[in-house]
């Protein structure tokens, strides 16, 4: 049967339409794959940057113990075969409370990251919460009861506790255990006249792994737990097992210095030097340094941690893309969490 010109035109139209639909579908699929590949490439590129910061010691390799700026930024220890072993002093130089800390612009220059936002956060793996539940005074002594909870990633965990009370020259130690419920109690006694100047230092260690050891500080004067020191008159700055402090301000007179870890407590030589070496305690534990001093006629205590964790430095990424790379790292054989954030790549 002969075909009309109309039928031929209609058939051709259908063929062209189907072809266009197919091309559009193919183009859409290819664009999705290209975008997906670009995302994979971007993630791989940013991950490589993050890995290099974590596993590279930087230059000079011992820049953490110096006061000058590093030429190349890297956090790895120069003395470890473990690629995720970080240098304790390099961590301290990221904490703004350390007088030798890097500023954010200096960090970006040393990292050689042009137009790429950077953020670094280091935190303890065991979360320790201290809550005062009761106190009463009898004679010259006040007893305090505390509820202490420990958790990992918000899940209750059992720990062994080693707690110290530091109140000028009054020092005492309490040992206890927190069960699987993650909640326990301790009772301590403090001379009433020294409460205003006392600190409770709590170390919590997992029964499964000694490297899971964290600390927490309770300030009696403020009746709160402190994650960072509330007083910084002395500008306590540990580096290379030497405590740098400001003892030259008018009215300041340094008295006693102490170093604490999970298993040890020692007195630091009480000279008047602004550079006080302290012992390398053989212990898998963060170190807490406490200094008592007079400010005029008033007596105070200040503390700092070594390494100075928790810390956060860098961009806040408010309203911008944030790519987070998380690591479990070791610092002086203690495990910490490091979150390294990078912004979006420039166009």
Q: In angstroms, rounded to a whole number, what is the distance separating the alpha carbons of residues 129 and 187?
A: 15
Q: Rounded to the nearest 5°, which phi and psi values hold at 297?
A: -105, -5
Tokens of 331: 């610092």
- Render pLDDT for 324-333 as a digit per residue (tens, 0 to 9): 999 999 999 9
- Render pLDDT for 24-57 as a digit per residue (tens, 0 to 9): 444 454 344 434 445 668 999 999 999 999 999 9
Per-residue pLDDT, 272: 64
Q: In angstroms, rounded to a whole number, what is the distance separating the alpha carbons of residues 99 and 96?
A: 7
pTM summary value: 0.87
Which pairing describes strands 265-268 and 252-260: parallel, antiparallel, or unpaired? antiparallel
Which band of pLDDT confidence, cut at 50, 70 and 90, is reported for residue 21?
A: very low
Q: What are the structural domain ranges in the chain?
A: 1-42, 51-124+310-342
Tokens of 328: 């479990």
Residue 191 pairs with which residues in a beta bridge? 141
Angle 263-266-268 from CA coordinates, rounded to 5°? 145
Q: How many CA atoms lie within 13 A of 174 on its CB side?
A: 19
- Render pLDDT for 241-282 as a digit per residue (tens, 0 to 9): 999 998 777 778 888 999 999 999 999 986 667 899 999 999
- Ranking 62-66, 87-91, 267-271, 335-339 by mean pLDDT, the lowest is 267-271
Q: Which helix (H) or strand (E) holds 33?
A: helix 5-55
Q: 111 pLDDT exceeds 70?
A: yes
Q: In angstroms, rounded to a whole number, what is the distance separating the alpha carbons of residues 315 and 335?
A: 25
Calculate mean pLDDT across residues 167-177: 94
More confident residue, 212 or 20: 212
- Ranking 23-37, 201-215, 289-303 by mean pLDDT, the lowest is 23-37
Which band of pLDDT confidence, cut at 50, 70 and 90, is reported for residue 7?
A: low
Q: 345 pLDDT exceeds 50?
A: yes
Per-residue pLDDT, 32: 45
DSSP string over 243-266: EE----STTEEEEEEEEE-SS-EE
Per-residue pLDDT, 51: 97
Q: 218 pLDDT exceeds 90?
A: yes
Calculate mean pLDDT across residues 205-230: 96
């Amino acid at each position: 049967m002969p075909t009309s010109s109309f039928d031929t035109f209609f058939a051709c139209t259908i063929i062209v339409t189907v072809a266009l639909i197919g091309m559009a579908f193919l183009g859409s699929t290819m664009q999705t794959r290209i975008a997906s590949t670009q995302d994979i490439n971007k993630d791989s590129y940013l991950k490589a940057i993050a890995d290099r910061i974590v596993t590279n010691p930087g230059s000079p390799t011992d820049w953490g113990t110096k006061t000058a700026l590093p030429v190349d930024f890297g956090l790895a220890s120069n003395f470890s075969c473990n690629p995720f072993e970080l240098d304790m002093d390099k961590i301290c130089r990221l904490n703004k409370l350390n007088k030798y800390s890097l500023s954010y612009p200096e960090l970006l220059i040393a990292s050689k990251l042009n137009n790429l936002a950077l953020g670094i956060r280091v935190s303890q793996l065991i979360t320790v919460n201290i809550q005062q539940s009761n106190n009463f005074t009898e004679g010259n002594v006040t007893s305090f009861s505390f509820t202490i909870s420990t958790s990992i990633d918000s899940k209750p965990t059992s720990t062994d506790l080693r707690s110290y009370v530091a109140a000028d020259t009054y020092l005492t130690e309490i040992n206890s255990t927190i069960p699987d419920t993650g909640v326990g109690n301790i009772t301590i006694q403090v001379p009433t006249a020294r409460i205003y100047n006392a600190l409770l230092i709590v170390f919590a260690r997992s029964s499964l792994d000694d490297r899971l050891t964290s600390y927490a500080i309770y300030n009696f004067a403020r009746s709160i737990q402190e994650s960072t020191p509330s007083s910084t008159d002395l500008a306590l700055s540990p580096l290379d097992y030497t405590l740098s402090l400001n003892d030259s301000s008018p009215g300041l007179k340094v008295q006693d210095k102490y170093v604490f870890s999970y298993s040890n407590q020692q007195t630091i030589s009480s000279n008047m030097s602004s550079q006080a070496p302290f012992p390398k305690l053989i212990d898998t534990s963060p170190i807490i340094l406490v200094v008592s001093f007079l400010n005029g006629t008033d007596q105070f205590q200040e503390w700092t941690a070594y390494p100075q964790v928790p810390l956060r430095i860098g961009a806040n990424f408010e309203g911008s893309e944030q790519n987070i790379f998380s690591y479990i790292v070791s610092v002086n054989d203690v495990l910490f969490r490091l979150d390294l954030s990078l912004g979006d790549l420039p166009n």
